[in-house]
A and B are shown apart, each in its own frame.
Chain A
């Protein structure tokens, strides 16, 4: 019995202080430091805060290891904590490396005014302790103080800071191509700045995450026989520059069939996307470039999960083909059938159409734009476009509504800049130039279909083919090369998968060149911003 009492007494003497100690809260730092046991420290390890960062993408940058992170609770002499956060996205530059003012981008709503910095911080003793000041940990972003950490004893707390976007160092384009040079951002934690020369408090950072909103770049795809310079000449690029929207107009396509150019796009597009360091883009295409882009999407979209196509926006693209190429193809077919000494007659066409067609031989790109070929293309292509955000615009060149194309008022100025031969004609014989453009306009305006019959033979044995225009029941508005119904895909089915369409007619009419001018650019940008805010990098986080 005595032994038992003695044993209990010894046990009580030994355990009481330990139990008393266990009742004290753990303090890793401060005057009450201690009671934290011998287990693994909770402020180190791959994800000690148990708060996971969001998945990184081209608008959210995360650093989860490296200098300054997962250091264990660090006192001022062991600091400061210096964390490097590379940003691999180009913001404030175009594909050619030219700069865009961040202020312009902010003003036009294509770049958030601030970026959000998140970081879980450990054991920030804001409540302090008896006899010592509270913990004060300053945070600097690229050398500029943006605030101080918050938290409480022995806990991880998510800290969030709004940073002026100008403080962020963005990636820069590599002139030689390839991935951009990352912008290096430094986050510095100055630990325990309120204790004077004393060392009281420690802290630790698990990871850092920087998020901002900005528009994805616009990639411009030119039409047949053009180059990226076309978008400069029409003023489209000026508008993008005015709005601070990053763009690239370096796509360069030959006069080739649609599917051929799809492969060329696949050779060029991924490099352009990579250059910006983005995972999404918008395509803006003029004329046949719209069909080339659709073919690219059909074949290659599934092969490039590294970036997504947010929208396809076409201007004057012949989504249902154009009767002018039908006419050229039938003319070529008729010429083969009648032979060298034969004759081709035209019925229902404007004057001099024979002479015009004799001079104008279609190239491999134009040959692909017959209504029949594009109908076949549509049957394969449209079902593959899925939930792509597609917009289209088309125009009518007859601005004054007198059912013809005039030089005064000048209804085809843009077309002349498009075509050097028209420029020359305008100097040598303006009326002839006008007549040529008007003839093209009239063919499209007044014709529903074109047929060819071959051949009747004259007494002398000469073979004669006849190409006949079937009149349309009502005028078909057009930009001199593509009708509005074709530009909006209303017959071949593209219209059914289109989100927005607009026809520029009457005083707002457009020809095949100025259908890509600054005003049209403003319309397309409105639509592009719509999709950006819905599912793009401008979507509120």
Chain B
């Protein structure tokens, strides 16, 4: 009778521990929350994906001095306008793009432009390599990186994981967990500011990065262009 007295509390403690563990893991794996909103782009979603000129995103500010950030796909209308104050995205006409005076950033060209030092993510190990030297990231699994237009910075996307392996060659492996954006200096790989959690569209598609020409924004979009996330870098490239 005296032993049974301890069974109930013990069971309760075990159950509580189990629930806490499950909750902890769920919270860790499931990408709850984000520091920036996920902004839908329904006019672009699933259109002409994978074609030669599709998916070529361009960014420009409304004026040389700043203003809203305009996002354009070279093969599609409309243009989207991101308001940095309200953190909202609205579809606008091509006219706004043509009337804008900020320099244009061609996102695909940023991909092809090698930086001063080689920066890459080894997709086998999910490590970030700067000049072939392993560099730690905000979350343990590095997903992608992109050098800024001046080459002074690199934006890095990483995930907390874990990964679920591909299924029978018919699907890609999935990287679960929260996504973090961070900016590091080049070539010393020192973090510039805090890492920012960005929303996850799904765990199969990989997010594409693009810098605005003035390096004030990094835009993330998913493979089917269903949505974007816009991160302000708070960098002053003139300081570099």
| Chain A residues close to B by CB (< 8 Å) | 175-177, 224-229, 250, 252-260, 263-264, 266-268, 270-271, 300, 324, 328, 356-357, 359-368, 373, 376, 380, 415, 418-422, 424, 436-437, 440, 480-481, 512
Contact = CB atoms under 8 A, between A and B. Distances in A.
Given A254-B144, A367-B50, 17 more contacts: A175-B131, A176-B132, A260-B55, A260-B108, A267-B113, A271-B114, A324-B170, A356-B167, A359-B167, A363-B223, A364-B49, A415-B169, A418-B169, A420-B165, A421-B167, A422-B168, A437-B168
Interface stretch (B13-21, B90-98, B200-208, B229-237): B200-208
Interface in B130-170: 131-132, 144, 165-170
Contacts of A176: 117, 131-132
Contacts of B131: 175-177
Contact of B169 (A229, A359, A480): A480
Contacts of B122: 227, 252
B169 A263 contact: no
A376 B120 contact: no
Nearest to B165: A420
Interface string B75-103: 00000000000000000000000000000
B208 A356 contact: no
B165 A419 contact: yes
Contacts of B208: 256, 260
A227 B111 contact: no
Interface in B177-214: 204-206, 208
Most chain-A CB neighbours within 10 Å: which of B50, B114, B125, B172?
B50
Contacts of B144: 254
Nearest to A512: B169
Q: Which 7 A-B pairs have the closest CB atoms?
A: A227-B124, A363-B172, A360-B170, A364-B223, A420-B165, A266-B112, A257-B50
B175 to A, nearest CB: 11
A175 B132 contact: yes
A362 B168 contact: no
Given A225-B173, A362-B170, A480-B169, A256 B206 contact: yes
A266 B121 CA distance: 15
B51 A259 contact: yes
A176 B109 CA distance: 24
Contact of A367 (B49, B113, B124): B49
A419 B123 contact: no
22 contacts: A177-B118, A225-B123, A225-B173, A226-B124, A227-B124, A228-B124, A254-B121, A257-B50, A259-B52, A260-B108, A263-B109, A268-B118, A300-B112, A359-B167, A364-B204, A364-B205, A364-B223, A367-B50, A380-B52, A421-B167, A422-B169, A436-B168
Nearest to B167: A360
Nearest to B120: A252
A256 B146 CA distance: 15
B171 interface: yes
A440 B108 contact: no
B206 A356 contact: no
Contacts of B224: 364
Contact of A363 (B51, B114, B165, B205): B205
Given A177-B118, A368-B50, A225 B111 contact: no
A228 B120 CA distance: 13
B114 A267 contact: yes
A328 B170 contact: yes
Interface residues of B, number: 37
Contacts of B50: 257-259, 367-368, 373
B123 A254 contact: yes
A437 B113 CA distance: 40
A4 B122 CA distance: 99
B interface majority secondary structure: loop
B188 to A, nearest CB: 13
Contacts of B132: 175-177
Most chain-A CB neighbours within 10 Å: which of B122, B132, B172?
B172
B170 A440 contact: yes
A254 B55 CA distance: 16
A360 B168 contact: yes
Contact of B168 (A175, A367, A421): A421
B112 A361 contact: no
Contacts of B121: 252, 254
Contacts of A228: 124
A177 B115 CA distance: 11
A241 to B, nearest CB: 19
A263 B170 contact: no
A223 B224 CA distance: 21
Contacts of A418: 169
Most chain-A CB neighbours within 10 Å: which of B55, B112, B170, B172?
B170
A229 B126 CA distance: 13
Contacts of B171: 359-363, 366
A359 B164 CA distance: 12
A426 to B, nearest CB: 11
A224 B171 CA distance: 10
A356 B170 contact: yes
Contact of A267 (B111, B124, B205): B111
A523 B123 CA distance: 28
A264 to B, nearest CB: 6
A261 to B, nearest CB: 9
A226 B173 CA distance: 10
Contacts of B114: 267-268, 270-271
Contacts of B223: 256-257, 363-364, 367
